[in-house]
Structure 1
Amino acid sequence: MRSSKFCLNIAGDTPSSNRHFDAIASHCTPVIISDDIELPYEDVFNYNEFCLFVQSSYALKKGFLMGLVRSIGREEWNKMWRRLKEVERYFDLRFPSKDDGGDYGVQMIWKALARKAPLVKMKVHKSQRFERPFKR
């Protein structure tokens, strides 16, 4: 993977897989073939800056994938690769982290949970709106 420019991330039987993390760790631009993939930190990162997305129906067309990756010019790929290297540290979930002790990936998980907690609480409250029986 380390010597590849693009790495396939094919949908499997779960919403996400390790292939995505492996590609990022290898500095290999993920080519994500999935219509409904769930990506971490998508509320923070614009994955279009460092990944290619392909709908499953297009990926099945003969020659489509090769045509797609060949259409990415050197300048565009370099831009994606640089962005991939910038975000890589947020996908390293080792604790403590290997390099600078920043534990960026672990911190991103905690921040993501903190962002979601109010939404979960709101949904719980909304779901309880009509639980109280009416008295006539």
Structure 2
Amino acid sequence: MKLWPAMFILADFGRYPPNVANVEKDVIAPYKHLIKSFVNDKSDFDSRPTLLYFQGAIYRKDGGLARQELFYLLKDEKDVHFSFGSVLNDGINKASKGMHTSKFCLNIAGDTPSSNRLFDAIASHCVPVIISDEIELPFEDVLDYSEFCIFVRTADAIKEKFLINLIRSIGKEEWTRMWRKLKEVERFYEYQYPSREGDAVQMIWQAISRKVPNFRMKIHRSSRFGRNSEKQVKPKMSIPNNFW
């Protein structure tokens, strides 16, 4: 209760009630991707043989139930890789190879709405297919994710043949446009030390700075009748002089 008024920097809201963490006051940060970045990516639509890729825990609770449904819908599609996997037994290297050779990568809600899998896909230039109705995305006030991601409602995705028909309908030209956009935006999700212009650290600080005017407005509004109420306590907000 003492901490909830603070601004949180979180990778996911799924573990917090909305009165503690919400998109109005808090900042969503990217997960650090686990697989290797695709450096000097010379691939194209034709050189990525796998149409749709997913490797991870299939049986999840709550929001992840869609994974089970999708597994049974997609497991027999010849150009779809949908299997159980983990970080053990060289799992990260296997996932790197799989994503680097796939056109589309599934990002399905699990125990929480988001995971590092989305950012693995971005680092792989594998067009993310997001099936997570409650997901909140980093820097969405300045980035249009529809330019490099496919969004599908869970209720639609688990309809027979809906998802696979949708993915097969996306042709080479559209996929290539999204693939190029992924290569443009991937730097926004890279954590580096020391931080460099346009990386994830700088993007997070910029997202924080965009929150400040709204906070300042609320503080000023709360002070309107300060002189008329002895009991009113003015909220405190400390902004360093060199913040900007």
TM-score range, shorter chain: 0.7 to 0.9
Percent identity between the aligned chains? 63
Separation (CA, whole Å) in 2 of partners of 1:52 and 1:108: 23
SS of structure 1 residue aligned to 2:138: coil
**1:8-49: CA deviations, max 9, x gaps?**
111123242111111101111000001121000101111000
- Structure 1 residues 75, 128: closer, same or farther in 2, change over 3 A? same
Match of 1:5 in 2: 103
SS of structure 2 residue aligned to 1:62: coil
Match of 2:26 in 1: none
Quick check: 1:53 aligned with 2:148?
A: no
Q: How many residues matched?
A: 131
SS of structure 2 residue aligned to 1:112: helix
Quick check: 1:105 aligned with 2:203?
A: no
Higher Rg of the two aligned structures:
2
- TM-score under structure 2 normalisation? 0.49
Separation (CA, whole Å) in 2 of partners of 1:63 and 1:126: 53
1:24-103 alignment runs, 5 A limit: 24-96=122-194, 101-102=196-197
Asked if the contact 2:129/2:151 (under 8 Å) is kept, the reply is yes
Asked if the contact 2:127/2:178 (under 8 Å) is kept, the reply is yes
Asked if the contact 1:16/1:37 (under 8 Å) is kept, the reply is yes
Quick check: 1:118 aligned with 2:213?
A: yes
State the AA in 2 paired with 1:23: A
- TM-score under structure 1 normalisation? 0.84
With 50-59 and 63-72 compared, the bigger mean Cα shift is at 63-72
Over aligned residue pairs, what C-alpha RMSD do you find?
2.3
Q: 1:69, CA displacement in angstroms? A: 0.9
Separation (CA, whole Å) in 2 of partners of 1:6 and 1:128: 51
- Structure 1 residues 133, 35: closer, same or farther in 2, change over 3 A? farther
Separation (CA, whole Å) in 2 of partners of 1:23 and 1:72: 18
**1:89-135: CA deviations, max 9, x gaps?**
101123236xxx5462211111001001222343455567789479x
Runs of at least 4 residues of structure 1 off by over 6 A?
127-131
Match of 2:27 in 1: none
SS of structure 1 residue aligned to 2:102: coil
- Structure 1 residues 91, 130: closer, same or farther in 2, change over 3 A? same
Asked if the contact 2:114/2:132 (under 8 Å) is kept, the reply is no
